[in-house]
Amino acid sequence: MRTWWKNAWARRPKLSRGWKLVRNLVLGAVGGYLLWSFWGYPLPTAEMTFRRLERQHLLSPSELVFSTPEYGQGTDAASKRDRMVEALDGTKLYLEDCWFAGVTEESTVIASVERGLLLAGDGQLRGYARDGGPLLFPLSQSEWEIPRAYWVEVDYSVGAHYTYHNFVPFLLLDVPGETRRVELSLELRQETGTQILPYQADSWDLGGGVWLVGAWREDGQSPSPWLEGSYTLRLYDEKDTLLKQREGAIPRPL
């Protein structure tokens, strides 16, 4: 057996270095494919993952109107997964994971993507109908939990005292450019039971017709992750003249 193996090994075709190079690279490619597939085909950037989600859902590329940075947790982030966006008034707002919002003529897509140290992992995408007017979209992408969102208040009067203000995040899109103030009242179904409770809302202008809205209650109660409810929206210009009023149900994903 051993002699046979030795003879067989001696009779093996002798490849030139060029062909050996090809053989090795093919083996490497196969191994690399398996490794890549094992980890769920991560991509270099979260935006690439967002675009891939669109293609996987057979959607044409949307116009990106909102995105959080790939990196950059900001100095006050509670977690490495949090991403900081800065409002036009300088408020630093933090969202868990990377978020993207894109629009087409008839729809809005909102996606969240997990971003690791080196690569972007999987994500979830939801589509909503769009009518060109200002619309409120929930940033909840899971039936199980609402993504972490907060802004940080720092009091330097006694050393540095940090207060984290949690909120339930929404995106307000297609806001007219002349809007200077947003007044929003929300009612959301609670996590347990069927109770619907009013929420206060803060809003921050991110520019480009995009506002981030944070809903919260003094008693800290959380709404159901489905974020079902209704809202009344009023937009005011710099002279505090009412520009637009809108009310309706918080949209459900298509």
Tell the smallest beta-carbon distance from residue 206 to another protein (Å): 25
36 part of the interface to another protein, by CB under 8 A: yes
83 part of the interface to another protein, by CB under 8 A: no
Encoded tokens for 209: 């017709």
Among 27, 88, 154, 249, contact with another protein (rule: CB under 8 A): 27
57 part of the interface to another protein, by CB under 8 A: yes
Can you tell me whether residue 68 is helix, strand or coil?
A: coil
Q: How far apart are CA 221 and CA 40, in angstroms?
A: 36
Cα dihedral across residues 223, 225, 229, 235: positive or negative: positive
Cα dihedral across residues 193, 194, 195, 200: positive or negative: positive
From the list 51-59, 76-84, 176-184, 209-217, the region that binds another protein by CB under 8 A is 51-59
Alpha-helix runs per DSSP H in 115-212:
none
Q: Which of residues 99-118 bind another protein (CB under 8 A)?
A: 106-107
**Upper half-sphere CA count for residue 237 (Cβ side, 13 Å):** 8
List Cα–Cα distances, 38 to 41, 51, 197, in angstroms.
7, 21, 44
54 part of the interface to another protein, by CB under 8 A: yes
Kind and range of the H or E run holding 94: strand 92-96
From the list 57-65, 69-77, 92-100, 229-237, the region that binds another protein by CB under 8 A is 57-65
**Number of residues counted as binding another protein (CB under 8 A):** 32
Encoded tokens for 22: 């090809």
List Cα–Cα distances, 198 to 61, 201, 225, 247, in angstroms.
36, 10, 16, 14
From the list 2-10, 20-28, 95-103, 136-144, the region that binds another protein by CB under 8 A is 20-28
Tell the smallest beta-carbon distance from residue 201 to another protein (Å): 27
30 part of the interface to another protein, by CB under 8 A: yes
Tell the smallest beta-carbon distance from residue 1 to another protein (Å): 22
Among 4, 9, 38, 144, contact with another protein (rule: CB under 8 A): 38
Which residues bind to another protein, rule: CB under 8 A? Answer: 17, 20-21, 23-25, 27-28, 30-32, 34-38, 41, 43, 52, 54-60, 106-107, 127, 129, 253-254
